[in-house]
Amino acid sequence: MVHAARTIRRAVVTGGAGFLGSHLCEHLLDRGVEVVCLDNFLTGSPENVVHLMEHPGFRLVRCDVTDFVHVPGDVDLVLHFASPASPLDYLRMPIETLKVGSLGTLHTLGLAHEKGARYVLASTSEVYGDPLVHPQPEEYWGNVNPVGPRGVYDEAKRFSEAMTTAYRTSKGTDTGIVRIFNTYGPRMRADDGRAIPAFVGQALAGRPLTVAGDGSQTRSICYVDDTVRGILALAFSDQPGPVNIGNPDELSMLRLAEWIRELTGSTSDVEFVDLPVDDPKVRRPDTRRAEELLGWRPTVPSEEGLRRTVDWFAARLQESATRVG
């Protein structure tokens, strides 16, 4: 059953200057929604939203949501997307990650409650940890090591889901939780350590593609436009979630590296490196809930999404070479 869309005139996007947040801001503006983007630029950059600065409906505010969150005027929707998201980032910034998942979630829920706004939490497939159930349905509770290095991110998100649920049940706040699986596309940072930007950067530079372990571990990769459509379908619905948003097409890391090598026309070698501690062996969303409740399913084939991403990174590389030259 797909619920009727609600009217949203003004939205707050935390982490709006990041990869996913900047695409969300763009899609919301396209739908005629005013956007207030809150970001402290910890892992994001104003460059990601520079093309929106002239838009009359867009406002960028530098703000650390772990301190406090104050937004004057009406707000119909709060999307809490602020958080380091790549393993490299959250391993480098464990306390910041735990703070934005806990204090940041508390403050943004407070804002939504005060304004009577819909609230959407960006949760993650990482709440399933190294899953013992495959593919992962929303009913699965996960297999997370709280004191392992990845625990800072996984547990922050698990806490933020619990806090969001508590606001819904005890204060009646209109909340929704979206569990996002690996998403890729333009505006990922080349140096954020995630597999796709790493492989693309290495292939374009003619360096070896570094594959962790033997490369047999799997991920399911979803193109950013599909993910954003899914997130907004939940935002405009009255569903509480959690709802998995991801592409069920699963592929091994070695296959992904080889695919990117083909798409870039690179002759780089593949180099095998150590597998990170607690690295999930498999990852694939069960997307039946998203299909039934939101009428959502991914539509961009991986080959097309990867091609667009490769083209974007190649164009950026070309631009910076021209600037230097």
Q: What are the catalytic residues?
A: 153
One of 10, 12, 14, 28 touching ligand NAD (CB under 6 A): 14
DSSP letters for 275-317: PPTT--S---B--HHIIIII-----S-HHHHHHHHHHHHHHHH
Tokens 């998403």 correspond to 183
The residues near 119 (Cβ < 8 Å, ≥ 6 apart) are 77, 78, 80, 108, 109, 112, 113, 164, 167, 173, 174, 175, 176
Using only the alpha carbons of the chain, give its radius of gyration.
Answer: 19
Tell me whether residue 109 is exposed, middle or buried, using C-beta atoms within 10 angstroms of its C-beta: 0 to 12, 13 to 18, 19 or more. Answer: buried
Least distance between ligand NAD and beta carbon 21 (Å) = 5
Region from 35-43, 105-113, 138-146, 273-281 binding ligand NAD, contact rule CB under 6 A? 35-43
Cis peptide before 135 (omega within 30 of 0): yes
Which CB sits closer to ligand NAD, 82 or 293? 82
Residue 289 dihedral angles phi and psi, to the nearest 5°: -65, -45
End-to-end CA distance of the chain: 56
83 binds ligand NAD (CB under 6 A): yes
11 scored as a contact of ligand NAD (CB under 6 A): no
Contact call for residue 202 and ligand NAD (CB under 6 A): no
Q: Which of 269, 248, 255, 260 is nearest to 198 (CA)?
A: 260
Q: How many residues bind ligand NAD (CB under 6 A)?
A: 29
Stretch of 62-70, 131-139, 196-204, 275-283 contacting ligand NAD, by CB under 6 A: 62-70
Q: Which stretch binds ligand NAD (CB under 6 A): 9-17, 49-57, 105-113, 273-281?
A: 9-17
Angle of the 302-324 helix axis to the 195-205 helix axis, nearest 10: 50
Q: Does 104 bind ligand NAD (CB under 6 A)?
A: yes
Task: Supply the minimum distance, in Å, between the C-beta of residue 314 and ligand NAD.
Answer: 20
Distance CA 64, CA 14 (A): 9
| Smallest separation, CB 31 to ligand NAD (Å) | 19
Candidates 118, 220, 132; CA nearest to 179 is: 220
Q: Which stretch binds ligand NAD (CB under 6 A): 40-48, 165-173, 235-243, 266-274?
A: 40-48
Residue 182 or residue 237: which is nearer to ligand NAD going by CB?
182
Task: Out of 26, 64, 138, 154, point to the residue binding ligand NAD (CB under 6 A).
Answer: 64
User: Between 99 and 266, whose beta carbon lies closer to ligand NAD?
Assistant: 99
Per the CB < 8 A criterion, the answer to whether 166 and 205 are in contact is: no
Considering the rule CB under 6 A, would residue 122 count as an interface residue with ligand NAD?
yes
Compute the least distance from the CB of residue 121 to ligand NAD, in Å: 8
Q: Is residue 180 part of the contact set for ligand NAD (CB under 6 A)?
A: yes
Q: Which is nearer to ligand NAD, 3 or 279 (CB)?
A: 279
Question: 84, 129, 215, 242: which one contacts ligand NAD (CB under 6 A)?
Answer: 84
Phi, psi values for residue 112, rounded to 5°: -60, -40
Q: How far is 23 from 31, CA to CA, in rounded Å?
A: 12
Contacts with ligand NAD, residue ranges (CB under 6 A):
14-15, 17-21, 38-44, 64-66, 81-85, 100, 104, 122, 124, 180, 182-183
